[in-house]
Structure 1
Amino acid sequence: MFKNYRKHDLNNNIKIMDVTPLDIMITGVTGAGKSTTINSIFNKSLAEVGRGVEPETMGLNSYTLNDCLRLWDTPGLGDGIKQDQIHSKKIIDLLYKTYSLDSNNYGFIDMVLIIIEGSNRDMGTNYKLINEVIVPNIQRERVLVAINQADMAMKGRHWDSLNNKPKERLKEFLDAQVISIQSRVKEATGVDIIKPVYYSAENNYNVDALLDLLIDNMPKNRRTIG
């Protein structure tokens, strides 16, 4: 569905960065919809989606959209202290995966996308993920936040199923959530995040805006380590 979305812009940005492909880690709490987001972007079932409270993504899996973009699905936090420690280590290890070029070491992961639920069910774990796992291990300007499950932000109310979009009351609520999350993340972690976008991977709503967020905020150079 999005294989050729803004391919020209992606190609230009890739040339500026001098990397192929751009590697983006997708992370978030369990149930935020990381795997569903990947499936929506690819318009096919690639990543296993958890149902209920059981997380499906327990390892690290990559999916190549085209010759410019590769997405990494990671296990979510919020499954208990022991599991969170295991999952955090996997995420950090991937962030420190490197390659060498011209006697320099570069990070394999170029950007991180943190997905937050529209209902903000577990913001404490989101803050922990940002503060303790992501920000200490990658430059802050390479971290983006997006809000999934826009259709369920008000427990399913005010969603226009016929036209697959939020009604005005839900849209106002989501717009307020964007501002609130920016402020709350800043207060809790000290990180100034770029304005998040909201979308619904389950309903394929506003997924193009999510890709715009990624493409428009691509770094200008490789990620140096050490």
Structure 2
Amino acid sequence: MSCEEFGTLVATNPQALLSFYVDHSKMSLGRLRQGLINLTQNPLDNLPSLKRETDEVAFDLVSLSPGTDYLQNPDLEMLFHHCSFVSIWMNLAYLAATDIGFMEMPEEVKGSKNVLISFIGKLLNGLTPEFRRLQLDPVEFAALKAISVWKMSILGDNETARVLSGEQYLGVAKSLNEYHQTKNLQDFEKAGRLAEITSLMAPTSALYQEMITVYTTLNIDDCYRGDFC
């Protein structure tokens, strides 16, 4: 199957594409929940072990995502960075908004000047309130993560990556629109809901860029056992 044929498949069966991302999102939240909750209590000590586990989740997402077999290593490496970000940081922001077991950072931790703790504070004070405001359900959150994976930053300067990224976005957006139809939303409500969800790409992308700076400062290697890197 060519990349163009993949695009046709996505256009005709977008529900299967979104279902994949929903299933993976639910799995990742369940598997990583306790580690993410523990992270806020002692970020500097808990991040290394959590990242090792989230890297496995991110690697699976890259490996299993429909269409990634068309990409070369430089694009797969960038996609892994995106998948790692959504697996740790977007999941953390969502748990903070939806999980009654989530615990705020202790005051003594909040007072630290460390760049990691500062970053987590920005995440929880910036993205989490937006998740609460929109009351994203698991399907909508999975769709946002999928869009972020493919659109958070440019994958590569090649036609295949651009086409695949665009087809992924269109497929997820179309399927999300069909999902909203099951919620008996009127057309203007569906359009407004999609616009609100996709508007979160701006703060998400900004946090992703800041994460890169934090990882560089702390010498955190954002790779998985040498694959893609």
Per residue, is there more helix in 1 or in 2?
2
The structure richer in strand per residue is: 1
What TM-score does the superposition give when structure 2 sets the normalisation length? 0.30
TM-score (norm 1): 0.30
